Amino acid sequence: MANFSSPMPSREFLWDVFQRVDKDRSGFISSDELQMALSNGTWTPFNPETVRLMIGMFDKHNRGTVSFDDFGALWKYVTDWQSCFRSFDRDGSGNINVSELKDALSSFGYRLGEQIVSVMLKRFDRFGRGTILFDDFIQCCVVLHTLTAAFRQFDTDQDGYITIHYEQFLNMVFGLKI
Amino acid sequence: MAQPQSGMPPPAYLMEMFQKLDKDQSGSITANELQTALSNGTWTPFNPETVRLMMNMFDKSNKGTITFEDFGALWKYIVDWQNCFRSFDKDNSGNIDKNELRAALQTFGYNLNDATVTTMLQKFDRIGKGTVLFDDFIQCCIMLNNLTTAFRQFDTDQDGVVTLHYEQFVGVVFSIK
């Protein structure tokens, strides 16, 4: 996502956003508060799994919430994903179809066949229209990243194949933070 | 889940249950209506992933809702899981610890080593107490079943070892319900 990097905004700006998101004024943003603040461009709630993934990423103290200290990084993360999503949503439809997804993934360095991209799309295609929304796009990319990292750990000779025992396979998949 | 099987209750009873769940009286049960009706024994909401898994299983017309026709099978499925859960929750704590989980999985025919059971428990241990609640127990068992089925499809010589290409691996994990 290097090309979509936005500069970090000022502390004042971030504090202003933080206070608006922190509805109960606890000084921390919970996953419910973050979910309410985010939009996927439709009236459906923002994917709770994506919210959980993002909180998990920036919650340094492992409390299930994000403090103001961590908020800047979270804000930047969401903003960078937004510009990334918009740049691949060529027709400005607010969602991404299979060819747009394939382009996005190849720009991230994944060389995947049409068939596997279709499988991925189907997993996140919430309305059965062959498209995915912003929030599901993030989840899809984060899951693929996590899977690829797990695969690489086993693929020590880097030939794109792993030989794996049943229990190793279970351990690997159940151990994924997805 | 072969052991604790319940009989199907009479239609009148099922209709009464169905109408109680169908809060907006639309004639079908949505995922939200089902989620509100189910309890995991704590005040936390019933795992939405488990609700989604169960809806998909019994929603024959693929509309994302359950009609009265499908409701009997869904009702029976949940009651059977409840009985199963209770039978393994030996200390009646309302949750299942690692030993109870291992015993449950053994009954289902899975002989898994300690490390694997620990990983599974960690994944579904929602409140960080080393235990699994009812709703997460269902999701855990369904996921194990689906992963095992997927693994077996590749393990054609049945030696418990498979060789997977990167795309096959990604495909398997993305297709797990």
Give a yes or no: residue B32 inside a domain.
Answer: yes
User: Per the structure, how many domains does chain B have?
Assistant: 2
Give a yes or no: residue B48 inside a domain.
Answer: yes
CB contact under 8 A, B175 and A123: yes
Give a yes or no: residue B3 inside a domain.
Answer: no
Give a yes or no: residue B2 inside a domain.
Answer: no
The band of A59, judged by pLDDT with boundaries at 50, 70 and 90, is confident
pLDDT at B171: 92
CB contact under 8 A, A147 and B167: no
Give a yes or no: residue A6 inside a domain.
Answer: no
Last residue of a domain, one of B88, B112, B134: B88
pLDDT tens digits, B118-133: 999 999 988 788 999 9
> Does B94 touch chain A if contact means CB atoms closer than 8 Å?
no
Residue B135: phi, psi to the nearest 5? -65, -40
pLDDT at A155: 96
Question: What is the percent of chain A with per-residue pLDDT over 70, rounded to a whole number?
Answer: 98
pLDDT at B4: 58
> Does A176 touch chain B if contact means CB atoms closer than 8 Å?
yes
pLDDT at A1: 52
- Restricting to B residues 35-54, those with a Cβ less than 8 Å away from any Cβ of A are 48
Please answer whether residues B28 and B65 qualify as being in contact, where contact means their C-beta atoms are separated by less than 8 angstroms: yes
Q: B139-143 contacts: CB < 8 A, separation 24 or more?
A: B139/B47, B139/B49, B139/B50, B139/B53, B140/B101, B141/B1, B141/B104, B141/B105, B141/B108, B142/B50, B142/B53, B142/B177, B143/A174, B143/B176
The reported pTM is 0.82
Ranges A109-113, A163-167, B5-9, B151-155: which has the least confidence: B5-9
Q: A59: domain range?
A: 11-175
Residues B82 and B94 in one domain: no
Give a yes or no: residue B38 inside a domain.
Answer: yes
- Say how far apart CA B36 and CA B46 lie, in whole Å: 7
Give a yes or no: residue A92 inside a domain.
Answer: yes
Last residue of a domain, one of B31, B54, B88: B88
CATH number, domain of A68, equals 1.10.238.10
Give a yes or no: residue A108 inside a domain.
Answer: yes
User: Per the structure, how many domains does chain A have?
Assistant: 1
pLDDT tens digits, B145-171: 999 999 999 999 999 999 999 999 999
The band of B48, judged by pLDDT with boundaries at 50, 70 and 90, is confident
Q: B164: domain range?
A: 90-176
Give a yes or no: residue A2 inside a domain.
Answer: no
